[in-house]
Structure 1
Amino acid sequence: MPDITTDAAEESTSRRAADHIAGNPRILIIDDEAGIRDSLETMLTLEGFTVTLAIDGVSGMEQLSRNQFDLLLLDLALPGESGLDLLPRIVEMYPTLPVIMITAFGTMGNVVDAIRAGAENFVQKPWDNEKLLADIRTAIARHRAEEEVVQLKRTLKQRYNFENIVGKSEPMLKLFDLVSQVAPSRSTVLIQGESGTGKELIAKAIHANSPRRDHPFVPVNTGAVPSELLESTLFGHVKGAFTSAIAAKKGLFEVANSGTLFLDEIGTMTMDMQAKILRVLQDRRFMQLGGTQEIQVDVRIIAATNVNLQDAVRAGRFREDLFYRLNVITLELPPLRSRREDVPLLAGHFLRLYSNENGMEERTLSPEAMRILMDYEWPGNVRELENAMERGVVLSTGKIIQPELLPQQLTGNTYSATLLEQQPNASLFDLMEEIERRIITDRLERCHWNQTEAAEYFRIPLSTLNQKIKRLNVEIKKRNRE
């Protein structure tokens, strides 16, 4: 039985955290000099911050225990316990709270000690107001993004038991509600979405929130298994069924009994395999390869595809009866470019993940690097973003990841750099025409050669796009309906 008291406490904490994130940034100043406190309070209040003051470590720790703050300005030389002595305790108790140390007696030793102890930055009196404000805003923005991810994950965990799924955009919130509705049922689910959108994570979330959660979740990428081995992989085989079958082997349907079988990239199956899958969906029975006895299973099927199965049915590449069996409940995963507000949350999540995995201090993105992420189209979706953040963490030597550590395709230099290498003697006009040709061709490919969709993306009339296609000799391929 759930612990109602614990759930209520966690919900109250979640509400307080959400209210805190939504309000003005709150800063705690711990400094024993009244003039310094008053000066900082005036400046920060005028900038829209909510400021709380403390004169020493004791009163400062009391404030930290009673309120939530976005940043701490901590004086090094405090009466009693110094700021440097206080810092490790603050970092241990409030690990996500950024701390900027302030002192009139800054030495390199103090700076090193403060940073090692967990300080965000070190400012020496008298300071430059603009630089201090910039440092404060950067630290608070990062802190709030981290708090938002923690809050979001807590909410999703309480409400849905979702793991490793991050998103606050409207399309994702609607998807979470749908997942919570369909999870308790026995119905087959079809998940559709571009490659890299996280179809397997959604399948796992459905399983984790279903009555089958204590039984196996068995994923198989049907497109990655050679067609001649797929039947044996799914249904198993008896000894001697084929040359290398030296022993009997269970198939994944049997392994997943009482649980969930996730058939990824189901659109790649041969028509013969589709017929066999259809029979299992209808009768919950199958025979092993080379076997004579039927095996009955209780398996929930979740299928996924990055192709349009209706188009595949019309083209004769996918069985219509299987499509309707799979299409009981369909979930559409939005591409990352249609939910850009999730990019900072996802980036922060992956930066923390790979910083921890590599034993590094947590990395963050510079404002310019974040701008590049927000402007990029993400053809590889969440998987591409994850790879970019892992690369940035591994290659970084400091806490802040700058644009030069991002993959080249994100920074917009791919076309120009390649062309300059390929055509070193070309004129600027020729280079610009080639770049335009490549951009249009690239977009048409992503739109499956749908010129109307490409024109809408470029925000130009279809007639204008057609003129450019003709002028630039862009080769139009037959529209790929998959």
Structure 2
Amino acid sequence: MKGNNDTSNKILIIDDEEQILKSIGELLQRAGFDCITASNSTSGLALLQRERPLVVITDLKMEEDRSGIHVLEQAKDIDPDAVVILYTAHGDVSVTRDAFKKGAFDFIPKVVQTHHDILTPVERAFRFAKIQRENQLLKSQLDMDEKTSFYGAVGSSQIMLDLFDQVKRVAQTNANVLITGDTGTGKEVIARGIHHYSKRADESFVPVVVSALPESLLEGELFGHIKGAFTSATSDKAGLFEAANKGTIFLDEIGEVPLQTQPKLLRVLQERKVRRLGSVQERDIDVRIISATNQDPIKLIEKDKLREDLYFRLNVVHVHIPPLKARKEDIPVLAYHFLKKYRNVGLVEVEKISPDALFILQEYDWPGNVRQLQNAIESAIAVATREVIRPEDLPEPIRPSQKRVFLDAAEDADFKAAKDRVVKSFERQYLETLLEKHHNNISKVAQEANLNRKSIYRMLESLDIDIRKK
């Protein structure tokens, strides 16, 4: 089977058994991989040198030929970033450990139960290999391209490139902007960027976290007051809208503005005038309003927490920032952006992120979004003892627990027994999670797991899970 010049999906398979070589090659080709094959280690390593596949899969023990360990060692000499999977019918724990120490990515047993036993580790290996190559590229391009950044926001996914293009155009207008997105996605960063690229850039940017102000003080802070307006008003004070005159005011968490204050805010937006508390005098203001919320504004309207007319005034232009888990291709470029920012905060100057660590970062779901990733990189740099961030430098919640399970399982067992333990552990955790989620409703568990009810009952019995006790 011949490959083409595109290495993005190319895999090299080495085995001296023709039938196995053919069957694995056909399986992977049907799955969309570009396969090249070799029947011995010498020709396989020559193909690796010439074709530079992303992933290599090789038999551990070949008749009258060098072993898979030799292929692994030579592959690493040719390409230190080579991603090599070994497969074998022999379950020797010492050989397995030696292979992992020398850089093997994974092991696959020759006697597999389903196609997924081969496809799953191969797909994971390709994800890792692509992250590794992207890591190399990013390391050489620590200064972000103008196209992939907007003020302090960074992203290379199409959705973020489109967003950057949108806000750069919007910045040139005076239109009010409503920014929505989960907590930690960078709503204030985008707001500051809009101000920075606007004609108001030389004037004030005034951020207001609405929820941080007590309801009794909010109006006085926003609109100002005159002396004697209330007990503690010992002098006249300009409000934040006046402070932002000619510039931009950013109202964060706009959904927290009390209903009784919303008509006054609406009037400011409509009339472009503000009246201090206790005063009858109106003052003209020229302010651009950017607001933000981590809630769905339509649902806030339905719950009578946000006036519809105020929403329409605020939402002249709507910008939505997607959560980080919806744009994981942005994680490497963000990680290196924060590496550049914090590289000197630790005991050593950190230069790069290891492929293993970057792989973990991309596999994590980031409930705290970009802010959580920023904190994770800063934390990793603070504890790093080398010039590279390694998996053990990452905060504990981010590091996957599965790796520790595998090592424990393999400690005193051969490959097949260790794998059986890991699989059973996964099946138990997976089923118990679904059972708890669906309150032991087997039909719903089967539906979500995409299995039939008989299979679920069979697994419950084999794992000795008694739902009557739950």
Q: TM-score, structure 2 length as denominator?
A: 0.60
Cross-structure match for 2:295: 307
- Counterpart CA distance in 2 for 1:142 and 1:363 is 12
Matched residue SS, 1:411: coil
Is 2:350–2:386's contact at 8 Å kept on the other side of the alignment?
no
- Counterpart CA distance in 2 for 1:184 and 1:153 is 21
- Counterpart CA distance in 2 for 1:44 and 1:368 is 22
- Counterpart CA distance in 2 for 1:384 and 1:268 is 23
2:306 corresponds to 1:318: yes
Residues 195-253 of structure 1 show CA distances to partners (whole Å, capped at 9, x for unaligned) of 11111111111111211111111111112222211112111222232233233222110
- Counterpart CA distance in 2 for 1:321 and 1:275 is 9
Cross-structure match for 1:388: 376
* AA matched with 1:378: W
Q: Which residue of 161, 165, 170 maps to 1:177?
A: 165
1:459–1:349 Cα change, 3 Å:
farther
Cross-structure match for 1:364: 352
Structure 1 residue 409: Cα displacement: 2.4
* AA matched with 1:146: K
Is 2:185–2:324's contact at 8 Å kept on the other side of the alignment?
yes
The alignment of Structure 1 onto Structure 2 pairs a total of residues equal to 325
Matched residue SS, 2:206: strand
* AA matched with 2:299: D
- Counterpart CA distance in 1 for 2:374 and 2:467 is 35
Is 2:205–2:249's contact at 8 Å kept on the other side of the alignment?
yes
1:211–1:438 Cα change, 3 Å:
farther
- Counterpart CA distance in 2 for 1:308 and 1:430 is 37
- Counterpart CA distance in 1 for 2:172 and 2:385 is 47
2:334 corresponds to 1:334: no
Cross-structure match for 1:93: none
Structure 1 residue 345: Cα displacement: 0.5
* AA matched with 2:312: Y
2:133 corresponds to 1:146: no
Matched residue SS, 1:278: helix
Is 2:351–2:388's contact at 8 Å kept on the other side of the alignment?
yes
Structure 1 residue 132: Cα displacement: 5.1
Q: Which residue of 204, 228, 231 maps to 1:243?
A: 231
Cross-structure match for 1:408: 396
Which deviates the most, 180-189 or 244-253? Answer: 244-253
1:240–1:199 Cα change, 3 Å:
same
Cross-structure match for 2:217: 229
- Counterpart CA distance in 2 for 1:389 and 1:280 is 42
Matched residue SS, 1:383: helix
Cross-structure match for 1:432: 429
Structure 1 residue 364: Cα displacement: 2.6
Cross-structure match for 2:204: 216
- Counterpart CA distance in 2 for 1:285 and 1:329 is 22
1:430–1:154 Cα change, 3 Å:
closer
Q: Which residue of 278, 281, 288 maps to 2:269?
A: 281
- Counterpart CA distance in 2 for 1:332 and 1:191 is 6
- Counterpart CA distance in 1 for 2:160 and 2:290 is 19
1:341–1:292 Cα change, 3 Å:
same
Cross-structure match for 1:70: none
Q: TM-score, structure 1 length as denominator?
A: 0.59
**What's the Cα RMSD here?**
4.1
Q: Which runs of 5+ in 1 are unaligned?
A: 1-21, 23-41, 50-127, 418-426, 442-451, 474-482
Matched residue SS, 1:378: coil
Structure 1 residue 147: Cα displacement: 3.6
1:164–1:388 Cα change, 3 Å:
same
- Counterpart CA distance in 2 for 1:243 and 1:145 is 58
1:428–1:186 Cα change, 3 Å:
closer
Residues 432-467 of structure 1 show CA distances to partners (whole Å, capped at 9, x for unaligned) of 3796159959xxxxxxxxxx9x999x7859x99xx9
Q: Which runs of 5+ in 2 are unaligned?
A: 1-7, 9-45, 54-72, 83-128, 406-423, 439-443, 458-465
Q: What is the percent sequence identity of the aligned residues?
A: 41
Structure 1 segment 17-166 matched on structure 2, within 5 A: 46=50, 131=76, 133=78, 135=80, 142-150=135-143, 152-155=144-147, 162-166=150-154
* AA matched with 1:153: D
- Counterpart CA distance in 2 for 1:262 and 1:328 is 15
Is 2:148–2:161's contact at 8 Å kept on the other side of the alignment?
no
Structure 1 residue 355: Cα displacement: 1.3
Structure number with the bigger relative contact order (C-alpha 8 A, sep ≥ 6) is 2
Residues 87-136 of structure 1 show CA distances to partners (whole Å, capped at 9, x for unaligned) of xxxxxxxxxxxxxxxxxxxxxxxxxxxxxxxxxxxxxxxxx865555557
1:233–1:167 Cα change, 3 Å:
same
Is 1:189–1:330's contact at 8 Å kept on the other side of the alignment?
yes
